[in-house]
Amino acid sequence: MAGEFDLIRQFFTHQAPSVRVGVGDDCAVFDVEPGAQLATSTDLLLEGRHFFSDIDPFKLGHKALAVNLSDLGAMGAKPIGCLLGLGLSNFNHSWLERFSAGFHALANKHGCPLIGGDTTRSEQGIIISVTVFGSVRAPFLTRASACDGDDIWVSGPLGAADVALSLLMRAQQGEALSDPEHELLEKTRPCLEMPAPRVELGLSLRNLAHAVIDISDGLLQDLSHILQASNKGAVLYVSQIPVNPAITHFAPAQKLKAVLGGGDVYELCFTAPASARKKIRMAGNESGLSLSMIGSITSGNKLKVLDEDLIEIQDLPSGFDHFR
Amino acid sequence: MAGEFDLIRQFFTHQAPSVRVGVGDDCAVFDVEPGAQLATSTDLLLEGRHFFSDIDPFKLGHKALAVNLSDLGAMGAKPIGCLLGLGLSNFNHSWLERFSAGFHALANKHGCPLIGGDTTRSEQGIIISVTVFGSVRAPFLTRASACDGDDIWVSGPLGAADVALSLLMRAQQGEALSDPEHELLEKTRPCLEMPAPRVELGLSLRNLAHAVIDISDGLLQDLSHILQASNKGAVLYVSQIPVNPAITHFAPAQKLKAVLGGGDVYELCFTAPASARKKIRMAGNESGLSLSMIGSITSGNKLKVLDEDLIEIQDLPSGFDHFR
C-alpha cells in the first residue's frame, strides 16, 4: 500500500521559494531570516495504532517526543523547542502527571522545551501530535544527497523493537507467553517504548555524512527512500548488520525479518564518503554509540542484500507502512 | 470545566530561556537566532467534535488552516509556512483532492506554503493537526499587554457562527428545519465553515495595539483571557457590539448569547490606547474590515457588560470550552 502514501503526498507537495527542504524528508527546512534556517517535523500518534492503550504514560510521553527528535537528528538539527497537541477522553491526574514527566524528562535532556500546544476532548481515544523545531546549517543532511561509492552506516544494534512489538501484540490478543518469551520481551521492549533519539550523532554528522534518515519505517524501506531520492542503488552485507544481542539466537530468516523489515526504530542510517570513516568512528565513540558500516551506494537504482555467503537474497521482508 | 483546562496546562508549563512567549497565548514565540523570532501555533481538529463528518472537504481544508492562521494574526505574525498531520480511515481520491484544494487556496492567499507533515491511517475518523509558523517582531501582541484605559476593539460582525452551529446540530439530529431557518443557515454557515483569518489586520496592529486575541472561544471568554493575563477589568457596551445582519431580528437575549458566548469565531479582539484610534480605523479600512470600539479596560479585575440602557447584565452566557 506504499502507493497510497505516494498518492496522498501528491496532494500536498507544493514547493515554495523560502523552503530549502520540503514535503517528504525527515524534516522540512525553511528560512526564518536570511542566514537563519529552521528544521521542523510533526508526527501524529494514535491510541491503538501507534501505541497500546495500557502503555505506561511516562513511556508514552517519552516516545511521543522521541520520534520527533529523531527526525531532527536525521537532519543534523539542534533542538530549539516543541509543541504538543493532545486529545484526551477524560481528565486523569496521575496519567497526565506521568505523561508530562516522561515528555519533559526527554525535552530537558535535549534542550527542547515545550513552548505551546492545544488540548481537546477526544471521543476517539488518546491522540498525540508533536511538532519539533531545530536550527540547521547548509549543507543539509537530506535523503537526496547519497553519492556513488558512499559507505552506508547504521547506528545501534537492530531487531529488538520488532520482536517486542510481536510479543506485545500476541499478549494483547490474550495469548499466554512462555517464560523465555517473557524474558525476551523484558529485554527488547525498552527499544520499542523508550527509544533514544540520535540527536547528538546527527549533529556530529554535519559536514561528514551525505544522506541521513532515521529508520522508523525499517532499515530496508528507509534506505529505499534514500535511494529513490538520490536516484542510486546499494549493496548491503547481512553479515555487517548489527543485531541486538537479545535476538542473536533467532533462526536466520526470523532475524533477517526483524533487522531489515522491523519498523519503529529510531537509529540513523546514513551515507558518507570513505574519506570520512575515521571521523565517523570518532563521532560514534563520542556519542557512546557503535556505528556499523553495512554496505555501499552504487550507481543504478537497485538495492541488493547479500547473505553471509555473499549470495543475493531474493525474498526480502517488506517495510512498515503506516497507511497499510 | 474550564478548571480542567487550567489543570492540564499546569503539567505542560515549563518556561525556557529562549522562549519569549510560552504556553497559553495564541502563539508561542521563540528565538531562532539573535534578532530572528518565530511565532508558532498548533491546533488539533477531530471529526465529530470540531467538524461534522459530512462537511465539504474543501471547506474543511480551508478551516483547518484558517484557525491556525488566525493565531498568527492574533500575534501580528507574518506567515512563513505550515505542517499538516492527517489521520484518515481510508483513501478517497476526490475527498483528498478537495481537502487539499481548500487548504492550498488559503495557504497561497496568505503566503503560508505547506512544507511537511505526517499521514497515518486512523480507525477513529478524520484527525487533523496543523502547525503554522510566522515571523514576529517585539513588542509582541500578547494577551498580557492590556493597559488601564485602553479601548477594546473587535473586528467583524459577530453571532453568525454560533447560529449556524445550532442549526446544523439540529439538522444533524434529524430535526427538519423550517424554510426561514434554512435561509438563515445559508446566510450564516460561511462564517462557521469558511472563516477568514485576520492575518493582514494583525500585521497592521503591530505598534498600535497592546493585547490581541482571536475570539475562537467566544468574545466573553477570550476577553477574559486578556483580563486574567493582564490583571485588568473591562466594561463592554452591548449597543456597540457589531451584530451579523442575518441575526439582527433575533430577540435580545438570543442575540446576546450568540454574540457574547458564541465560539468558533476568528475575528480579533484587541486593546489599544485612545491615541491610536485614527490609525486603527485606517488599518480597518485598508483591510476592508469594519472595526468596532466596544468598551474599555479598567483597573480591578471585573468584567462588566452594560445593556442598551447602561445597566449591568448579571446573567452572562458562558463561553466555549473545548474540554467540556
B43 labeled part of a ligand binding site = yes
Query: Which amino acid makes up residue B57?
Result: P
Nearest to A5 by CA among A257, A228, A262: A228
Q: What is the pLDDT of residues A214-234, one digit of tens each?
A: 999 899 999 999 999 999 999
Rounded to a whole number of angstroms, the distance from the CA of B41 to the nearest CA of chain A is 7
CA-CA distance, B173 to A224, in Å (whole number)? Answer: 49
Same domain, residue pair B45 and B118: yes
The pLDDT-based confidence of A324 (bands split at 50, 70, 90) is very low
Give yes or no for a contact between A62 and A110, defined as CB atoms under 8 angstroms apart.
no
Strand A78-88 relative to strand A233-237, pairing: unpaired
Same domain, residue pair B170 and B262: yes
Q: Domain range holding A23? A: 11-136
Give percent above pLDDT 90 in chain B. 73
pLDDT mean over A143-147: 92
B322 contacts on A by Cβ (under 8 Å): 119-121
Same domain, residue pair A164 and A245: yes
Q: What is the pLDDT of residues B68-85, one digit of tens each?
A: 999 999 999 999 999 999
Contact B322 A8 (CB under 8 A): no
pLDDT mean over A282-299: 95
- The residue that leads in pLDDT, A316 or B24, is A316
A35-39, A289-293, A294-298, B14-18: range with lowest mean pLDDT: B14-18
H helix or E strand, kind and range, residue B43: strand B36-46
Tell whether A6 is covered by a domain.
no
Query: Which amino acid makes up residue B79?
Result: P
A48 contacts on B by Cβ (under 8 Å): 123-124
Same domain, residue pair B90 and B25: yes
Rounded to a whole number of angstroms, the distance from the CA of B254 to the nearest CA of chain A is 27
| Domain CATH for A65 | 3.30.1330.10
CA-CA distance, B303 to A79, in Å (whole number)? Answer: 41
**What's the confidence (pLDDT) of residue A15?**
60
- Cβ pairs A/B, distance under 8 A: 235
Number of compact structural domains in chain B: 2
B90 contacts on A by Cβ (under 8 Å): none
CA-CA distance, B267 to B316, in Å (whole number)? Answer: 20
- The residue that leads in pLDDT, A26 or B229, is B229
A118 labeled part of a ligand binding site = yes
Nearest residue of chain B to residue A21 (CA atoms): B115
Same domain, residue pair A132 and A165: no
Same domain, residue pair A80 and A200: no
Rounded to a whole number of angstroms, the distance from the CA of B263 to the nearest CA of chain A is 14
Same domain, residue pair A39 and A147: no
**What's the confidence (pLDDT) of residue B318?**
62
Tell whether B208 is covered by a domain.
yes
Choose the mutation target among A118, A136, A324 for the interface with B, i.e. most B CBs under 10 Å.
A118
Contact B115 A80 (CB under 8 A): no
Nearest by CB to residue B19, choosing from A18, A81, A118, is A81
**What's the confidence (pLDDT) of residue B2?**
44
Same domain, residue pair A73 and A183: no
- In the three-class reduction of DSSP (H, G, I as helix; E, B as strand; rest coil), residue A286 is classed as helix
Tell whether B104 is covered by a domain.
yes
**What's the confidence (pLDDT) of residue B16?**
63
**What's the confidence (pLDDT) of residue A232?**
95
A214 labeled part of a ligand binding site = yes
Rounded to a whole number of angstroms, the distance from the CA of A78 to the nearest CA of chain B is 11
CA-CA distance, B230 to B38, in Å (whole number)? Answer: 23
Same domain, residue pair B165 and B295: yes
**What's the confidence (pLDDT) of residue A92?**
85
Nearest by CB to residue A19, choosing from B24, B42, B81, is B81
Give percent above pLDDT 90 in chain A. 73
The pLDDT-based confidence of A323 (bands split at 50, 70, 90) is very low
Residues of chain B with pLDDT under 50: 1-2, 319-324
For all residues of chain A together, what is the average pLDDT?
A: 90
**What's the confidence (pLDDT) of residue A318?**
62
Q: What is the pLDDT of residues A80-98, one digit of tens each?
A: 999 999 999 887 889 999 9
**What's the confidence (pLDDT) of residue B90?**
83
The pLDDT-based confidence of A69 (bands split at 50, 70, 90) is very high
Contact B42 A113 (CB under 8 A): no
pLDDT mean over A178-183: 96
Concatenated DSSP letters for B208-254?
T-S-EEE-TT-HHHHHHHHHHHHT-EEEEEGGGS-B-GGGTTS-HHH
Going by the DSSP 8-state scheme, the letter that residue B126 receives in this structure is: -
pLDDT mean over A269-298: 96
Same domain, residue pair A296 and A260: yes
CA-CA distance, A216 to A218, in Å (whole number)? Answer: 5
CA-CA distance, B216 to B220, in Å (whole number)? Answer: 10
Contact B121 A83 (CB under 8 A): no
Residue length of chain A: 324
- Residue A320 pLDDT greater than 60, yes or no: no
CA-CA distance, A172 to A191, in Å (whole number)? Answer: 18
